[in-house]
Structure 1
Amino acid sequence: MSTLSLEDIAGTLRTARLEGASITAPSETWPALDVDGAFEVQKINVEHAVANGDRLVGYKLGNIAKVMQDAFGLDQPDYGHLLASTFAYEGTTLELGKFIEPFVELEPAFVLKRHLRGPNTTVADVINAVEYVLPAIEIIDSRVRDWAISLPDTLADNGSTGAILLGGTPRRVNEVNLSNTRGVLNFNDREIISGNTRNILGNPFAATAWLVNRLAAYDVEFEPGQVILPGSCLKAVPMREAGHWSGTFEGWGTIEFDVSA
């Protein structure tokens, strides 16, 4: 695709995000949009955000679990940049009206102490690079109407990122069993869904290694201090009404937030 077309797609998605309005899938409006072009669109909007005062703080992997791929009609994971502006504080209230069609996910979050760069990054490399792990909530939200997305659509939309909350119970990687930790999402003190960290490609370290190696094709290097979201341990749950959400990793920690109408 031409640079002009990529800029047009980026501008359309940027406007949709600012206005909180959904659009027709970019792959329908611009049928030539492919995965590489979509990632370029993503980079254009990240660079625009940083140029206007935002900050790149990490990377995310989405739809790594089969239940997530099935839910959104994808057969591959997506990935995106994490911007500081998308992070919210635990215990605060989020306004439902600032999202389009949001879903809540529970996942671990890694904070790095060493560089990671593919190709050929291994699980051992990831374990050695992680400073600590936190419970996290990701609220995914698509600018594409009715979540009618293909892989290029969600990549162009920065992995459908909405908001991210980090919990306050950091653990060293040898203090939690990320191959077998149950996670539960509750809404208004009622269990909605549960999952297990093993759903994240066997364990979140493996998912992170996959992400590092995939993004090496775009000359991306992960840096110390960055946050890495390796994907949800359970199927995302629609966030449709005001109330209180909590996500708990058993034997580890809980993260909570409220939603106002």
Structure 2
Amino acid sequence: MNYEEIAKKLLESELAGTPIAPLTEKYPGLSIEDAYRIQLAGVNMKLSQGRKVIGKKIGLTSRGMQKLLGVNEPDYGHLLDDMLVLEGDTLKRSDLIAPKVEGELAFVLKDTLRGPGVTIADVYRATEGIFPSFEIVDSRIEDWKIKLPDTISDNASSARLVLGSRMASIKDIDLKLIGMMYEKNGEMVNSGVGAEVWGNPAAAVAWLANKLSTFDIALEKGEIILSGAFTAAEKAEAGDVFTVSFYGLGSVSIKFI
């Protein structure tokens, strides 16, 4: 199996805005390890083009999504500099294939976290602060017909991230109990609490640090870590406006044009 060749097809799909057939159909033996190797090959291609890794994202943190895909742990992807959208900017729907929007907490690290053996306490000590955020996920796989190796290969379906304008100390907030209200076009469509995210968003960050150690990758000082969605994602079309508000932390909004 040629990891670079598969990664190139995914990158071409992203650039063209044209999805491809599921990888797991073409490569029935595609394993989780193969998928992460494809993801890393794709990231290295982007780095060779002058892009920069600014963080990592954690996906599949809810038990419901894990059950849907038949897995018992989250997955992860890389965040690159051209994915970052500032609050107040707009997003062109036509730049993406089939975007969905998730409300999450973003951790900003003041110290490096390198597994194995990273604990929730280590995450608290290493975190500079947290932001309300959106992750916009998008699949280069046609019609979101994904199995776990498909989404991992596709950089965990990463597309964009939006950070709010206020950073809060992690010590001031109970991450398990913090509530989130999710609005689409001015109407509340969902709500959730931090415990939906792997029991505690900080636990998801610890999991990621330990998982990445198997690839000799660390969560680096200054990186942004998206810890996982509080609720189900919402589809986005041109004209849609999304807002998530976190109790005691503030809100963030994004508009698609």
Q: Pick the TM interval, shorter chain.
A: over 0.9
Which amino acid is 1:225 matched to?
A: G
Distance in 1 of aligned mates of 2:166 and 2:58: 22
| Contact 2:60–2:228 (8 Å) recurs in 1 | yes
Distance in 1 of aligned mates of 2:70 and 2:134: 21
Post-superposition CA distance 1:27-80 (Å, at most 9, x none): 21122321111111111111111111110111111011123335x634242211
Distance in 1 of aligned mates of 2:53 and 2:78: 7
SS in 2 for 1:220: coil
Matched, 1:128 2:125: yes
Distance in 1 of aligned mates of 2:225 and 2:88: 21
Match of 2:157 in 1: 160
SS in 2 for 1:251: coil
Instruction: Return the offset for 1:215.
Output: 1.1
The equivalences for 1:1-261 within 5 A come to 1=1, 5-70=2-67, 73-75=69-71, 76-260=73-257
Which amino acid is 1:227 matched to?
A: I
RMSD: 1.3
| Contact 1:67–1:234 (8 Å) recurs in 2 | no
Distance in 1 of aligned mates of 2:53 and 2:228: 18
| Contact 1:58–1:82 (8 Å) recurs in 2 | yes
| Contact 2:69–2:148 (8 Å) recurs in 1 | no
SS in 1 for 2:121: helix
With the length of structure 1 as denominator, give the TM-score of the two structures: 0.94
| Contact 1:59–1:228 (8 Å) recurs in 2 | yes
| Contact 1:67–1:235 (8 Å) recurs in 2 | no
Which amino acid is 1:126 matched to?
A: V
| Contact 1:185–1:247 (8 Å) recurs in 2 | yes
Distance in 2 of aligned mates of 1:164 and 1:6: 26
Distance in 1 of aligned mates of 2:244 and 2:95: 21
Distance in 2 of aligned mates of 1:224 and 1:9: 31
| Contact 1:62–1:232 (8 Å) recurs in 2 | yes
Instruction: Return the offset for 1:125.
Output: 0.8
Instruction: Return the offset for 1:240.
Output: 3.1
Which amino acid is 2:150 matched to?
A: D
Distance in 2 of aligned mates of 1:45 and 1:172: 34
Post-superposition CA distance 1:99-132 (Å, at most 9, x none): 1111110000001011111111111111111011
Please list every run of 5 or more consecutive structure 2 residues that lacks an aligned counterpart in the other structure: none
Please list every run of 5 or more consecutive structure 1 residues that lacks an aligned counterpart in the other structure: none
Distance in 2 of aligned mates of 1:79 and 1:60: 5
| Contact 2:237–2:256 (8 Å) recurs in 1 | no
Which amino acid is 1:85 matched to?
A: D
Provide the identity percentage: 36
SS in 1 for 2:228: coil
Aligned length: 256
Instruction: Return the offset for 1:183.
Output: 0.6
| Contact 1:134–1:167 (8 Å) recurs in 2 | yes
Distance in 2 of aligned mates of 1:211 and 1:40: 16
